[in-house]
Structures are given as structure tokens and as C-alpha cells.
Amino acid sequence: MKQLSGYQIIRRHLRRYPRVLRHTLIKELSQLITYEPVIGIMGKTGAGKSSLCNALFRSEVCAVNAIEACTREPQHVRLQFGQHYLTLVDLPGVGESQNRDSEYRELYKEQLPKLDMVLWVLKADDRAFSIEEQFYQAILAQCGSTMPPVLWILNQVDKVEPSELWNRHSATPSPDQFENIKRKQWAVASQLHIEEKDIIPVSVKGRYHLARVVEQMINRLPKQARSPLLPHLHQSYHSTPVRETASSSFGDAVVDTLDQVIESAPLPLIARKALQAVTHTVAHVARSVWSFFFD
């Protein structure tokens, strides 16, 4: 007998809902399963956006960071792994052209609400981040509640002094470097008015703290974007905590989706109560067959 796919198993459990709801439920669930995360990549030229993406994702990301400094439009790079897609959006304007500030503000006001997350890449050996501060505060003020979560990547920490003491064998900083990196994190957080924990010191070259980047991405992305992201990440980042968070979040997203459909349906209160138990059963099934994202 042909084995049912995870998606087919979930659909079979939807038969327990009233016929009038099934079409909408299946449509909404299909959109959830095929959700395509959209992640913005920001940072000055030379910050290491392309190398960071290539270190995180299975697909080669050649186009990111290859755009001209004068490019006025965001560049979309669509990645595919199996049946799943991920879009990276390389956003221009971070310190590249002060003459286009007003133009870029409009661009960001339009683009940022469409993103699930922003990875903002900073160079650890930069002395000041006044341009980033002004830019961030400006777009934060104009986007408000539509601003997606921002993960700050302090890249190239192997260049932090004393750089000659970086342990190349273990790809870790020396004690002196570690202290200077911590001071750099604090300085950046103070200047940008952000939480120090939101800044992750990274060396792409040495694969230092890349797993932490993945953990923060999975924890801070919207629930519906977490599982679809995972197939695109290199297998080495598929740790147990990451997989458990993605699986649990998918079940939660299923509950949210089903609850929204039921809430909007013209059903008596007693019927809504009865369907709650069914919804949690479907969510349990969704978590148990979650691995179909890797089929």
C-alpha cells in the first residue's frame, strides 16, 4: 500500500471538520506548508553579506553583494531546495550614497513590511557606525510596528585586535580578542540603541558562531517561516534544538491558521468549542509528520 505523505496525513484529519470549512482549511494549510520566507540582507559593501549567505545556505548565493554600489533597486535572489523556496533581498543604501537618503527611505518603507527578517551585517573592524545608526533610526521611525525583526551580525571578528592571536586551529578568539569583541558589541549596541544580545559576533571564514546565527533566526522568524527555512540551511546547522523549535512552531502555526478560519466562520459557540479539540489533534499530527519539509 502506498505510504501517505505528511501533507496527505494532515489533510485526512481535516475531514473531521464540517464540510463547509474544509475547502478554506485546505487552502490556508496549503499556503502555510508552501510558505516562502523572505529575508533582507543589509550592510555596507565589503561587510561580507555574500560570504555569510554562502556559509549559511545550501545554495550558492553569488548575486548577493555583487550589485553596484550605485544600484537603486533591491536585488532578489530566489533559492530552491527540493520543493521549497527562499528569497533573499539585498537592500541598497547603507552608507553608499548620502544623496539618495529620501529616495531610499521610500524604498525601505515599501520593502521592509514585506520581509520576515533582516540580517544586518556590520564589519567588526569598522571604527564607527554613525551611518548605520542614522539609517536604522530613520527606517525604524517610519516603519514602526511593520518593522521586521533585525538580527545584527558583527562579521569578521577574527580581525579584532590582537588579530594575530586568533586561534586558527579552533577558529576561536584569544582571551584578549574575546574581551575586545565584547567591548565592540557593547559599543555597537549603545550607538544603535539596541539590545546587546541581538548582536552576534561572527567569523564566516572560521565558521565562528554561525550556529548561533541559525538559532536566532529560527527563534525570531515568524512561526510560519521557521520550518520552510530549515531545508535551505546547511545540514550542520540542523541541531536538535533548532529542529525542535521549527517543528513546534509549525504545529503552533497550524493551530493559529485553523483557529482563524473557525473564528471567522458562522458557527454556534458550542460547535467552536467542539472543534478546538480537533484542532489540537491536527496540530499534534502536524508536529509528528513535520519532517515532510525535507522530502
Determine the pLDDT at residue 157.
93
Asked if 250 contacts 287 with a C-beta cutoff of 8 angstroms, the reply is yes
* Rounded distance between C-alpha atoms, residue 125 and residue 122, angstroms: 9
Tell me: the pLDDT tens digits for 86-118? 999 988 756 655 666 667 777 877 888 899 999
Per residue in 216-269, pLDDT (tens digit) is 999 999 999 999 999 999 999 999 999 999 999 988 998 888 888 888 877 777
Go through the domains of the chain in sequence order and give each one's CATH number: 6-33+242-294 (no CATH), 38-220 (3.40.50.300)
Query: What's the confidence (pLDDT) of residue 35?
Result: 93
pLDDT at 70: 44
The per-residue pLDDT for 111 is 87
pLDDT digits (tens, 9 = 90+) for 189-212: 988 888 888 899 999 987 899 999
Q: How far is CA 148 from CA 38, 94, 144, 174, in A?
A: 11, 17, 9, 35
**Full DSSP string of 199-240:** EEE-BTTTTBTHHHHHHHHHHHS-HHHHHHHGGGB-GGG--H
Element of type H or E holding 155: strand 150-155
pLDDT of residue 74: 80
What residue type is assigned to position 131 of the chain? I
**Mean pLDDT for the chain overall:** 84
**Phi-psi category of 82—alpha, beta or left, where left has phi over 0 and alpha has psi -120 to 50?**
left
Is residue 180 over pLDDT 80?
yes
**Predicted confidence (pLDDT) per residue in 266-284, tens digit:** 777 777 777 877 888 888 8
> Is the pLDDT score of 4 beyond 60?
no
**Chain segment 109-162, per-residue pLDDT in tens:** 788 889 999 999 999 888 777 778 777 887 777 777 888 999 999 999 999 999
From residue 147, alpha-carbon distances to 8, 124, 141, 188, 267 in Å are 36, 25, 9, 20, 35
Please report the pLDDT score of residue 227 as a whole number: 92
Q: What is the pLDDT of residues 16-58, one digit of tens each?
A: 788 878 888 888 888 888 899 999 998 887 888 889 999 999 8
Beta bridge partners of 208: 203
Contact 47, 54 (CB under 8 A): no
User: Is the confidence at residue 185, as pLDDT, over 70?
Assistant: yes
